[in-house]
């Protein structure tokens, strides 16, 4: 037979459980996934941390790759909330595929430069040297924004390059040079600056004829559209501009 005291204790235990272990957990903070061009890795990693500080409980994760690869992943159903590409052509493809929500915002610009291993052993001094010096040269593939910019410069300069390889992202080009697998490569000025003493930089005037504009947009299938839009505003606002300028990006 259950005593009154035992029954009271049992009710108390049930009540306590209903307030703790049996209750629903507190909702987790909001999170977004940002698909961003490989050349934005350092800057966006910093901006993601700053954004999280302005919105406690929010988590920003990134997928970095060549812009065309990012659009391919999204087209195949990869979940994401924001897309930032290294040129407007790639973003236009995303818009045509109805991947983005609203109009993209241009937030930065970038240009190409030549990088070589320290000491520039092949003696590269100009863009035309990439075609005539016999050096092992690596560039981005044509479908990647940095590759499209390379082709534009080739046409304008009347110089045809014969690269040893065409890479899927600008960071892969930089990696071939820093690892000693190439005598020279064409990368963005921001990537060259980020590499520091690992490379020598050879600016060339023809680069000004192929300036890449970087657009950003929230994705149409975002699970957190308000947070996605807030991140777009943050990147294109004064906080984003400062971080990007410090990394060497030009103003939009």
What pLDDT does residue 17 have? 39
What pLDDT does residue 12 have? 39
What pLDDT does residue 29 have? 53
The tens digit of pLDDT for each residue in 110-164 reads 999 999 999 999 999 999 999 998 999 999 999 999 999 999 999 999 999 999 9
For 31-109+213-246, CATH gives 3.40.190.10
Domains 31-109+213-246 and 112-209 agree in fold = yes
Classify domain 112-209 by CATH architecture: 3-Layer(aba) Sandwich (3.40)
- Domain residue ranges in the chain: 31-109+213-246, 112-209
**Is residue 8 scored above 70 in pLDDT?**
no
What pLDDT does residue 16 have? 41
Q: Poorest-confidence range of 11-25, 56-70, 175-189, 229-243?
A: 11-25
Q: Are 64 and 38 in contact (CB under 8 A)?
A: yes
Q: Are 203 and 248 in contact (CB under 8 A)?
A: no
Q: What angle do CA 94, 76, 37 make, to 5 degrees?
A: 50
Q: What is the mean pLDDT of residues 46-50?
A: 98
- Residue 59: Cβ-neighbour burial (10 angstroms; 0-12, 13-18, 19+): middle
- Its pTM stands at 0.83
- Identify the three-state secondary structure at position 202: strand
Q: Are 135 and 183 in contact (CB under 8 A)?
A: yes
């Amino acid at each position: 037979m259950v005593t009154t005291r035992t029954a009271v204790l049992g009710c108390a235990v049930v009540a306590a459980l209903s307030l703790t272990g049996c209750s629903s957990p507190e909702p987790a903070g909001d999170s977004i996934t940002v698909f961003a061009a490989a050349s934005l890795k350092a800057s966006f990693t910093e901006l993601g941390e700053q954004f999280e500080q302005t919105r406690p409980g929010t988590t920003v994760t990134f997928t970095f790759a060549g812009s065309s690869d990012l659009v391919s992943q999204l087209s195949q159903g990869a979940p994401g909330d924001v897309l930032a590409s290294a040129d407007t052509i790639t973003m236009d493809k995303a818009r045509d595929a109805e991947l983005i929500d609203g109009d993209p915002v241009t937030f930065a610009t970038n240009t190409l430069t030549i990088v070589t291993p320290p000491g520039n052993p092949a003696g590269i001094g100009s863009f035309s040297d990439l075609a005539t010096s016999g050096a092992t040269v690596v560039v981005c593939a044509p479908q990647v924004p940095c590759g499209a910019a390379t082709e534009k410069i080739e046409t304008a300069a009347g110089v045809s390059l014969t690269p040893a390889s065409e890479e899927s992202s600008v960071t892969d080009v930089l990696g071939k040079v820093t690892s000693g697998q190439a005598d020279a490569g064409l990368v963005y000025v921001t990537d060259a600056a980020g590499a520091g003493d690992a490379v020598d930089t050879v600016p060339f005037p023809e680069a000004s004829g192929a300036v890449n504009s970087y657009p950003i947009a929230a994705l149409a299938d975002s699970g957190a559209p308000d947070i996605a839009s807030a991140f777009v505003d943050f990147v294109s606002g004064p906080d984003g501009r400062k971080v990007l300028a410090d990394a060497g990006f030009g103003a939009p």
